[in-house]
Amino acid sequence: MARASWRDRIATARAERVAASRVRVLRTATHRDGARVEVLDSNGTPRKLLNFCSNDYLGLSQHFAVINALQDAASREGAGGVASHLVCGHHAMHVALEKELADWLGAPRALLFGSGFMANLAVMQALLGDGDICAQDRLNHASLIDAARLSGCKLRRYPHGDASGALRLMRESTDGVAMLATDGVFSMDGDIAPLRELALAARVQKALMYVDDAHGVGVVGPDGRGSVAEAQLTTEQVPLQLVTLGKALGGYGAAVVGDADLIEHLAQTARPYIYTTALPPAQAAATLAAVKLARSEDWRRGKLYDLIAHFRERADRAGLVLLPSETPIQPVMCGSDTRALSMSATLEQRGYWVAAIRPPTVPEGRARLRVTLSALHTHADVDGLVDALGRARDKAEAEARVAEMLR
């Protein structure tokens, strides 16, 4: 039998993507200025758009104090991390950032990673293996799912937000150790996991609970300490949680915070920590400045939640279909992939950048526009967006009727 051709395989895969309207398009931003961004269109011509698909929830990525910290540290310490943490890459700026994060979130210790994907992989590969079980929410981020698969454990996925379902799955296996892993704020739906109920299920099954709070820290909870703090859970109940530094904190990288013994175990055994270059000290300095702003400037969260309420009230009046989210992630449901793409294109023509999210990122038949709000936006920005969304929806529905008539 002849060996299969990899060129044929990728050509087939591409044809399937085209037929299903699931080709991903890489857009290039040439300049960012607050919530506004200059983006190259398909002809390479720059267009100025109002950005409603960024994760810069608190508007810190371009804050002068954050940029000054980055520039100052880079001028003194250089641009790179130079080596892994355990060789010679561990810098005083890393130590300061880890201590600040641990203090903010009320945990004994924190450990920096290059990205949230690497951090999730580190946690699961260091703590799980053959014979162990990991129960996960069906809508968890891809990095949690892939990390569990690569660890070699039994991955079991419970219905979204179903703590009793998680409990049933963990009861299936009594050998080895158990972990219950969930997003804190779900990145595509914007809702918050029922963490108190999940923590009880984990305690009953003597499972380690791990919360990926990438979209929660900085935004929800007292002083922006995230969904775990919002649920009034302690490190004893949630021994580990993930903090990404590139969303509400506006930078890059991630940290795992929690129980000191578990964090030390990660530092000693986690391959994504041991065998990769440390974050540049200048990046750590910038994020340290961002954390201090996030902790002290509550007005940013206040403004953000005012904008969320305003958007939802206006969207409801316009008849847009939203999911029950109280976070800056506000999905506008479209249903079909073609409708989501049509609405996104119409919005861009009107000066708004809102990405269409399609399967496999979201379930089949659940394509959407993932609107994200930032403290950088204004009420007028939101009003303009909602008006454009209504017009985009009407146009997409008219196109769908015409297409149905031509079948």
- Helix (H) or strand (E) segment spanning residue 255: strand 254-258
* CB atoms near residue 158 (< 10 Å): 23
Q: Tell me: the pLDDT tens digits for 281-293?
A: 999 999 999 999 9
Strand, helix or coil at 242? strand
Report, as an integer, the average pLDDT of 388-402.
90
What residue numbers does the annotated binding site for pyridoxal 5'-phosphate cover?
Answer: 116-117, 187, 215, 244
**360: preceding bond cis by omega (within 30 degrees):** yes
> Ramachandran region of residue 39, left (φ > 0), alpha (ψ -120 to 50) or beta?
beta
Report, as an integer, the average pLDDT of 83-91.
97
With b for 16 or more beta-carbon neighbours within 10 A and e for fewer, the 43-73 pattern comes to eeeeeebbbbbbbbbbbbbebeebeebbeeb
Q: Tell me: the pLDDT tens digits for 118-162?
A: 999 999 999 999 999 999 999 999 999 999 999 999 999 999 999
Domain membership flag for residue 5: no
Residue 80: predicted pLDDT: 96
218 and 306 fall within a common domain: no
Q: Tell me: the pLDDT tens digits for 300-330?
A: 999 999 999 999 999 999 999 999 999 999 9
What residue numbers does the annotated binding site cover?
Answer: 24, 116-117, 141, 187, 215, 244, 361
Residue 2: predicted pLDDT: 84
Domain membership flag for residue 331: yes
Boundary (domain end) residue, out of 296, 319, 347: 296
Residue 389: predicted pLDDT: 97
**CB distance 247 to 56 below 8 Å:** yes
93 and 240 fall within a common domain: yes
Domain membership flag for residue 33: yes
Task: Locate 269 and state its tokens.
Answer: 């055994």
Strand, helix or coil at 63? coil
Domain membership flag for residue 6: no
The CATH code of the domain that includes 372 is 3.90.1150.10
Residue 311: predicted pLDDT: 98
C-alpha triplet 292, 226, 186: angle, nearest 5°: 130
Active site residues: 187, 215, 247
The domain tally of the chain equals 2
Domain membership flag for residue 189: yes
Task: Locate 101 and state its tokens.
Answer: 């994060």
324 and 259 fall within a common domain: no
Residue 273: predicted pLDDT: 97
User: Which residues are registered as beta bridge partners of 256?
Assistant: 111, 242
Signed CA dihedral, 44, 372, 192, 300: sign only: positive
Residue 20: predicted pLDDT: 85
What residue numbers does the annotated binding site for substrate cover?
Answer: 24, 141, 361
pTM of the predicted protein model: 0.94
Domain of 40 in residue numbering reads as 24-53+298-405
Boundary (domain end) residue, out of 271, 296, 321: 296
With b for 16 or more beta-carbon neighbours within 10 A and e for fewer, the 110-119 pattern comes to bbbbbbbbbb
Domain membership flag for residue 14: no
208 and 102 fall within a common domain: yes
Q: Tell me: the pLDDT tens digits for 343-357?
A: 999 999 999 999 999
- 304 alpha carbon, distance to own chain's centre: 17
